[in-house]
Structure 1
């Protein structure tokens, strides 16, 4: 069984990545999340219109997810930044932050 996930707002992501999974500060200095390499992936969310009918249509919608690959003294690590990228774009455009 996977360990429980710590939940926090997207606005705290930059501070949260400064700590490794074992709870210790990452070695090598502060990590600038915006300088980490950006990746994306498309997944699909699907819904069966009427699940009780065997030939019911299935409708799917694309869901874009964003990730950053960062580096510390121990090597590289990936961080999902989907919500952070959205809030960052709003801040860059002068809008508010949603989490």
Structure 2
């Protein structure tokens, strides 16, 4: 299990990503997330919706996609992933 993390602002993500899980600075990584490979993952948020009749068997499952963005970065020890969904922001990718 990963250690618990204190919440921080998305603006601080580059400096937080420069720290490893044991709070030491990553060697070979300058904190520039834009130099890391951008990856995208879709998950689905599904809800059970009842018809107006409310009868059993009239329900249907409605799912909406949820996009999550990650950066795969490298340091001297190898690669690590950083979720950047909020940091990337809506419309910042081209």
Q: TM-score, normalised by structure 1?
A: 0.77
| Higher Rg | 2
User: Quick one: which of 64, 68, 73 aligns to 2:67?
Assistant: 64
Between Structure 1 and Structure 2, how many residues are aligned?
A: 89
Which protein has the bigger helix share? Answer: 1
1:15-66 deviation line (CA, Å, top 9, x unaligned): 101110111111125231011001001110011124x965321111001111
Q: What is the deviation of 1:88?
A: 8.1
Structure 2 residue runs of 5 or longer lacking an equivalent are: none
Match for residue 89 of structure 2? 86
Instruction: Classify 1:22/1:87 alpha carbon distance in 2 versus 1 (closer, same or farther; 3 Å).
Output: farther
Q: Give the RMSD, CA atoms, in angstroms.
A: 2.4
Q: Is the 8 A contact 2:11 2:87 kept in 1?
A: yes
Instruction: Map 1:5-84 to 2 at 5 A.
Output: 5-50=5-50, 55=57, 56-84=59-87
The runs of 4+ residues in structure 1 deviating greater than 4 Å are none
